[in-house]
Structure 1
Amino acid sequence: MENMEWIIELMFDDIKLMFNPVIERIISLIHKQLDKSHENGYDICAMMFLVGGFSESKYLQARIKKGFGDN
């Protein structure tokens, strides 16, 4: 086995499946924060800031824009 080359091919959809649970959790947490702000009398969220290394993920950004953007 040491002399064999190992090649693992991952397709885009495979990668999405690995990250979707984390992204769904992030989206759920955003919804909870927005719901809490509505309960406290705030009716609008004009912008969001994403922070941390994972916030640089184009897939995460696209999912958040799709879920919360005002396109």
Structure 2
Amino acid sequence: MAEGDPDLARQLAQAAEAIERGDIAEARQAIQEAARRMGEAGERVERQEAVESTLAQLQEGREQIGQAGGT
């Protein structure tokens, strides 16, 4: 996920650098921001999956109507 989101990758890199420096507060903040971004990305994926599922159901319904009309 981080490779597709430069801001997320930056947040994770900041967290790693802060940990190396021993700056736990900064690391915690960077990790929290990264987690927020990951949550937002997850919500977008869930919405996209719901749309794709709905479209598949609509297509299936159209095919059933077409078959019923053809018999």
* TM-score interval, normalised by the smaller of the two chains: 0.3 to 0.5
**Of the two, which has the highest radius of gyration?**
2
Normalization by structure 2: what TM-score?
A: 0.41
Question: Does 1 or 2 have the higher relative contact order (CA < 8 Å, sep 6+)?
Answer: 1
Q: TM-score, normalised by structure 1?
A: 0.41
Which structure carries more helix by proportion? Answer: 2
